[in-house]
């Protein structure tokens, strides 16, 4: 009579850890997919408008190239997030022949650690590119006011210092697992995100100010002669302020609030 192979005992704690990790990673991936779809629509419309202009100056071409670069990075980020999620699920729940649950969780962390770092760095770089574009556009609206440019450029440089400081810190630490990541590295990355959010808040404030000034100025002019331009400018400024505010709220909720929460599967 042959003996049955030993059964691997999985604790409720391990199952809860895996389940919570899958839920969080899946929710993040689904949210990224929604905004990725919105991003595809926006970039197609924006690029079409810019490229159909009769006068294509260097600024328009640079704007299109910048948006395409950010789109490619976003495509990579969503693809890598999906790949990491699938790989974690496979190690934790599918490949049971590898070993006990805790060993599989450890393997899920070690095999995806370097890939996750690439994603984090690419995300921070994408934020820097977007913030640089925002700085340029708001400075242009303010006709390159020295005070406005000083505030925006200085803030952007602060975010750049945090991002590149994070990269240097990781390279010196030899890109460890999340649980072994030095606190200095985490703080540098977090500071870069905070300063990026601050830059967006400053830009929204500046856009709100110029929208209010424009509306106040137009009130004193005859409605018949300025109705069309007034409506168009107000609509553009309103869209910029509203979309900027929505982005800022989502950025804070999606990146600053849960920054120190560790994605699972994890070993401790």
- Average pLDDT estimate for 52-73: 75
pLDDT at residue number 244:
83
Verify cis geometry, omega within 30 degrees of 0, for the bond prior to 265.
yes
| 102 located within any domain | yes
User: Any idea which residue has 């000034």 for tokens?
Assistant: 213
pLDDT tens, 163-190?
999 999 988 888 776 656 788 888 898 8
Residue 218 and residue 236: Cα distance in Å, rounded?
15
DSSP for 66-124, written as a single string: HHHHHHHHHHHHHHHHHHHHHHHHIIIII-GGG--HHHHHHHHHHHHHHHHHHHHHHHH
Number of domains the chain is built from: 1
Structure tokens that stand for 199 in this block: 């830059």
| 2 located within any domain | no
| 137 located within any domain | yes
Which domain covers residue 146, as residue numbers?
A: 12-256
pLDDT tens, 76-114?
888 888 888 888 788 777 777 777 777 777 777 677 767
| 218 located within any domain | yes
């Amino acid at each position: 009579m042959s003996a049955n192979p030993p059964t691997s005992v999985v604790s409720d704690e391990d199952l809860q850890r895996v389940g919570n990790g899958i839920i969080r990673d899946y929710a993040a991936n689904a949210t990224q997919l929604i905004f990725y779809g919105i991003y595809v629509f926006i970039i197609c419309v924006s690029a079409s408008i810019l490229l159909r202009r009769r006068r294509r100056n260097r600024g328009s071409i640079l704007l299109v190239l910048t948006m395409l670069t950010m789109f490619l990075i976003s495509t990579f980020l969503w693809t890598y997030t999906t790949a990491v999620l699938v790989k974690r699920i496979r190690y934790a729940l599918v490949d049971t022949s590898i070993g006990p649950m805790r060993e599989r969780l450890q393997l899920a962390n070690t095999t995806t650690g370097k890939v996750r770092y690439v994603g984090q760095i690419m995300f921070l770089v994408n934020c820097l590119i977007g913030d640089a574009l925002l700085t340029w556009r708001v400075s242009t609206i303010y006709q390159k006011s020295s005070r406005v440019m000083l505030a925006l450029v200085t803030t952007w440089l602060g975010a750049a210092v945090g991002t590149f400081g994070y990269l240097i810190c990781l390279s010196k630490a030899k890109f460890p697992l999340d649980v072994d990541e030095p606190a200095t590295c985490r703080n540098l990355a977090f500071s870069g995100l905070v300063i990026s959010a601050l830059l967006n808040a400053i830009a929204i404030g500046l856009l709100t100010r110029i929208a209010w000034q424009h509306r106040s100025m137009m009130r004193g002019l005859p409605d018949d002669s300025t109705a069309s331009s007034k409506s168009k400018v107000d609509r553009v400024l309103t869209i910029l302020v509203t979309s900027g505010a929505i982005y800022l709220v989502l950025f804070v909720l999606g990146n600053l609030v849960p920054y120190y929460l560790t994605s699972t599967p994890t070993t401790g």
